[in-house]
């Protein structure tokens, strides 16, 4: 792969930016400075060094974001900030979120550039777990819990798939679902005469939101977290 293209893939900069870095001798490959942008390198084995930091090429990359309220789950929008405004700008045209969160919903968003994995995890046939912390208007009774877990009528042809309710206290529950219907959790609680006051996704496909990530912060997924996604 051309060195300038590789540096772009590593999100070091745009094609024009990395060309300048290379010609100025600020990039080394396997310990040697390279000054030609079109220099061919083996991306599988090359160790790139820039400003004291080492980079290795990975075909796919994965990021975890703690989404704040008021942010759209989209790559671009002319009026409202999106999740990509919180991530490195170089990801905007190459990475996509695994599922969506409503504008007023917070918590775990995972973005990656493996389109096949995204498609597979979003397939209704996969029944991928999505766990939410839900703040509700009033306590659930036993009948409410049974209804939510066994399937509830939210105005569609079929009842919702089976879910799992875990009571934290009178106004907070964990709710694990396997679907991703429009405003699904809000509609489920409405169906048992309740209302959602706050909603936060805390896990997706076995990957949990890092408790050290503040609202609006992100980090790359660990190798184990990536493995967990592929095992779904």
| pLDDT bracket for residue 38 (50, 70, 90) | very high
Q: How far apart are CA 18 and CA 10, in angstroms?
A: 10
> Considering only the top CATH level, what class is 129-204?
alpha beta
pLDDT tens digits along 75-125: 999 999 999 999 988 788 889 999 999 999 999 999 999 999 999 999 888
Q: Where in the chain is the domain with CATH 3.30.70.1560?
A: 129-204
Q: What is the mean pLDDT of residues 175-194?
A: 96
Query: What percentage of residues in the chain have a pLDDT greater than 70?
Result: 100
Burial profile 68-78: b = 16 or more Cβ within 10 angstroms, e = fewer: eeebbbbbeee
Every domain range in the chain assigned CATH 3.10.290.10: 3-56
Does residue 214 carry a pLDDT above 90? Answer: yes
Predicted TM-score (pTM) above 0.85: no
**Active site annotation includes 102:** yes
Q: Which of 102, 144, 169, 223 is catalytic?
A: 102
**11-28 tens-digit pLDDT:** 899 889 999 999 999 999
């Amino acid at each position: 792969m051309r060195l300038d293209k590789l540096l772009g893939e590593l999100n070091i900069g745009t094609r024009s930016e990395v060309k300048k870095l290379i010609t100025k001798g600020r990039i080394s490959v396997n310990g040697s400075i390279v000054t030609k942008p079109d220099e061919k390198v083996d991306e599988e084995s090359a160790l790139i060094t820039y400003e004291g930091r080492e980079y290795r090429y990975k075909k796919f990359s994965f990021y975890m974001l703690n989404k704040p309220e008021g942010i759209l789950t989209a790559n671009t929008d002319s009026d409202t900030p999106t999740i990509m405004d919180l991530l490195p700008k170089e990801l905007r045209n190459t990475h996509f979120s695994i599922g969506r969160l409503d504008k007023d919903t917070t918590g775990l968003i995972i973005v990656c550039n493996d389109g096949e994995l995204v498609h597979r995890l979003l397939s209704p046939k996969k029944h991928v777990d999505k766990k939410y912390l839900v703040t509700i208007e009033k306590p659930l009774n036993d009948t409410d819990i049974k209804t939510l877990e066994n399937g509830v009528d939210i105005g569609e042809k079929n009842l919702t798939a089976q879910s799992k309710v875990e009571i934290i206290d009178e106004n907070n529950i964990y709710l694990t679902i396997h679907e991703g219907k429009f405003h699904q959790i809000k509609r489920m609680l409405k169906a048992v005469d309740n209302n959602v006051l706050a909603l936060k996704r805390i896990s997706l496909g076995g990957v949990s939101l890092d408790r050290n990530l503040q609202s609006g912060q992100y980090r790359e997924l660990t190798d184990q977290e990536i493995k967990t996604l592929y095992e779904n």
